[in-house]
Amino acid sequence: MQFQLLTIVGVGLIGGSIGLAAKQRGVARRVRGLGRQRSSLDRALSVGAIDEAHLDPQAAITGADLVVFCTPVDQIVEQVLNFAKHCEPTTLLTDAGSTKAAIVEAVESTLPANGPQFVGSHPLAGSEKRGPEFADARLFEQRWTVVTSTPRTSAAALDRVAGFWSALGSKVKTMSPADHDRALALTSHLPHLLAAALAGALPPDLHELTATGFRDTTRIAAGDPRLWTAIFAQNRTPVLEALGRLEGRLHEFRQALESGNNAAVDQFLAQAKEVRDALGN
Amino acid sequence: MQFQLLTIVGVGLIGGSIGLAAKQRGVARRVRGLGRQRSSLDRALSVGAIDEAHLDPQAAITGADLVVFCTPVDQIVEQVLNFAKHCEPTTLLTDAGSTKAAIVEAVESTLPANGPQFVGSHPLAGSEKRGPEFADARLFEQRWTVVTSTPRTSAAALDRVAGFWSALGSKVKTMSPADHDRALALTSHLPHLLAAALAGALPPDLHELTATGFRDTTRIAAGDPRLWTAIFAQNRTPVLEALGRLEGRLHEFRQALESGNNAAVDQFLAQAKEVRDALGN
């Protein structure tokens, strides 16, 4: 049992999955959920993701040895800084946000060095679905979680947070917040942008002429626009760089197709297939 | 029993699925497969997709009342025109190619009016997988098949071809070849291009930081490059128009993100989500 009392702030699909996994794997003796809506907390209780439901931050946080913030990326900084005031200095704080530099920099520059320690985390798992009813105790198994390290990060805190994700079944990788954000701009934020651009470009009269290819390619465009607007806003520069990289490739394809250069089109597709085949299903 | 003898030219995933469905649903009394590789034909025989395997076109075609060409789009015209010489005037010819205008125009302008009739078809079903071992008797159920109509198309032939796809379980829609190609450029060819551009833009060191979103969005990039090079070449102008439409949306997103216009980013994502939600899984 690594933790006596785990508090999850925001018990949706990710927070609920953390609670389920922590309970089933014996990672935390007791799991508290903090939320803003009674109905969502009740669903988290009913699927067994949490032992206690709280609407009051102070009651949820008091006595916790680990607090995980699973709220939208534009709420994490304010919550961490507010809630840290109610914590023991030994309480460990981490998050599950899809962006890291904006969050980690804002938290580290404000949180006092002698109080609770914060380590940024991002489990690369999830779904376009929302809510604790989709929680899955195995969500993190065989997936990567990035934990972030900066010159201010406590090595002991980093170890404990990494150990937490490992105990949930995840593989763990340590990166700087900026490296994380540049990587995820390409592997997650750009795919979301493309899926949305493609879905949004579909005229209504063509809906019925879509097949599995269109549906796969646009599936993540069903994600929550508000959550993703916050992610794009927090990771603006890396996303724009990733978009530029993609626009360059589209331009290359356009030139090949316009000029009837089938060898270049084939080469473009063959290189992509090689990458995709290497990823597996 | 609509047909006594069905010949399938090219027994891969699509051709094999046609054979399986035609046999299981009693649409054809006997199914012949014509291929270029003994090994592929043997696999088609072993999964029960065909009753007879042929390497010789004339032997495969003789006596058939329906011939379906399931070969790459850049081979269909030549095969239809060659094989038509071996057919009775009453033999019906159709195909399963992803492009229609180039094929239908070339065939109709050359095939004599008093010989076998050709009607273009495109079942909107498939997979990035290849080979008769992936054939599925239910591949066409609840999916659309487009059959094409032009001023030269025989109404009786169109009806019989539409009836064939219906009998395989498909919903059938009649369109002009040009309308089909413009629609599919947006619903199929552009998604393939984007999946390939995205997969190809992934640096090797970031492979392990991809999650389900990246994998879904790029899945179809595993398709056969040679097949897709031929599709893009045959549908060049509609694909370039579809690409232009997408580039316009990416430019719109870029402007919104660069200027920090979160409301516009949110609107972009919300409109896309509305379309994607309407498509279902």
Question: pLDDT above 90 covers what percent of chain B?
Answer: 95
Determine, for residues A221 and B143 on separate chains, whether the beta-carbon distance falls below 8 Å: no
Mean pLDDT of B65-91: 96
Q: Closest chain A residue to B261 measured between Cα atoms?
A: A233
Residue A126 has pLDDT above 90, yes or no: no
Q: State residue B246's pLDDT score.
A: 98
Mean pLDDT of A108-131: 91
Question: pLDDT above 70 covers what percent of chain B?
Answer: 99
Q: What are phi and psi of A144, to 5 degrees?
A: -90, 140
Q: State residue B108's pLDDT score.
A: 95
pLDDT-based confidence at residue B126 (cuts at 50, 70, 90)? confident
Q: State residue B164's pLDDT score.
A: 98
Q: Picking from A69-73, B123-127, B142-146, B201-205, which range would have the lowest pLDDT averaged per residue?
A: B123-127
Residues of A in contact with B183 (CB under 8 A): 206, 209
Nearest to A242 by CA among A173, A172, A190: A190
Mean pLDDT of B36-49: 96
Q: Is B217 on the interface with A (CB under 8 A)?
A: yes
Q: What are phi and psi of B96, to 5 degrees?
A: -135, 30
Q: If DSSP codes are grouped into helix, strand and coil, which group holds residue A220?
A: helix
Q: Is B261 on the interface with A (CB under 8 A)?
A: no
Residue to substitute from A148, A202, A241, interface B, most B β-carbons within 10 A = A202
Nearest to B27 by CA among B36, B17, B37, B14: B17
Residue A128 has pLDDT above 90, yes or no: no
Residue B128 has pLDDT above 80, yes or no: no
Q: State residue B21's pLDDT score.
A: 98
C-alpha–C-alpha distance, residues A190 and A212, integer Å: 21
Question: pLDDT above 90 covers what percent of chain A?
Answer: 95
The sign of the torsion formed by the CA atoms of B117, B119, B120, B122 equals: negative
Q: State residue A130's pLDDT score.
A: 84
Residue B280 has pLDDT above 80, yes or no: yes
Residue A269 has pLDDT above 80, yes or no: yes
Closest CA of chain A from B157, distance in Å: 23
A110 DSSP β-pair partners: none
pTM for this prediction: 0.94
Distances A71 to A33, A38, A246, B57, B187 between C-alpha atoms, Å: 12, 16, 30, 64, 35
ipTM of the complex: 0.94
Q: State residue A118's pLDDT score.
A: 98
Q: State residue A221's pLDDT score.
A: 96
Closest CA of chain A from B149, distance in Å: 17
Q: State residue B129's pLDDT score.
A: 78
Q: Picking from A59-68, B122-131, B197-206, B246-255, which range would have the lowest pLDDT averaged per residue?
A: B122-131
Residue B1 has pLDDT above 80, yes or no: no
Instruction: Point out the residue among B214, B224, B272 whose CB comes nearest to the CB of A196.
Output: B272
Higher pLDDT, A127 or B229: B229
Which residues of chain B from 118 to 177 reach within 8 Å of chain A, CB to CB?
124-127, 143-144, 146, 173
C-alpha–C-alpha distance, residues A271 and B243, integer Å: 20
Residue A145 has pLDDT above 80, yes or no: yes
Q: If DSSP codes are grouped into helix, strand and coil, which group holds residue B55?
A: coil
Nearest to A197 by CA among A154, A152, A243, A236: A243
pLDDT-based confidence at residue B281 (cuts at 50, 70, 90)? confident
Mean pLDDT of A77-88: 95
Q: State residue B81's pLDDT score.
A: 97
Residue to substitute from A271, A276, A281, interface B, most B β-carbons within 10 A = A276
Encode pLDDT of B205-243 as tens digits. 999 999 999 999 999 999 999 999 999 999 999 999 999
Q: Is B55 on the interface with A (CB under 8 A)?
A: no
Residues of B in contact with A247 (CB under 8 A): 247, 250
Provide CB contacts within 8 A for A94, sequence distance 6+.
A66, A67, A68, A69, A118, A119, A120, A121, A147, A161, A164
